[in-house]
Amino acid sequence: MATFPYKDDNGEWHVEASHVNTVQISYRCPFCWSSYKQNGEPSANAKSTVHHHGSCGEVHNRVEHRGSHCDKEKGAINIHITDKTIKDARLRKENGDVINE
């Protein structure tokens, strides 16, 4: 089993989706945070940002190759929907999550 996140031989990042529903795939970004200190490092109580991508109405396990929405790490991202990904037919927002469309 791969440990996420990892960078492949082509320089693309792979992450594991935290949630998927019939509207969107959500993953916790390894690169950006809810708040930063003045020196640019994440604040002590910062939470990792959650990014969303469209799920095409499908919740089964797969890898989605997408253009990143991330401000910190632009380029392609591979989002793995696995047995650990919470699958839900409804929209979901965890307490404290930063929603960054």
Query: Where on the chain is the footprint of Zn ion (CB under 5 A)?
Result: 29, 31-32, 70
Q: In this structure, what token pair is assigned to residue 63?
A: 């890898």
Q: Are 20 and 59 in contact (CB under 8 A)?
A: yes
Shortest reach from residue 51's CB to Zn ion, in Å: 5
Q: In this structure, what token pair is assigned to residue 26?
A: 């959500």
Shortest reach from residue 3's CB to Zn ion, in Å: 19
Cβ distance to Zn ion smaller for residue 20 or 70? 70
Cβ distance to Zn ion smaller for residue 14 or 31? 31
Shortest reach from residue 82's CB to Zn ion, in Å: 20
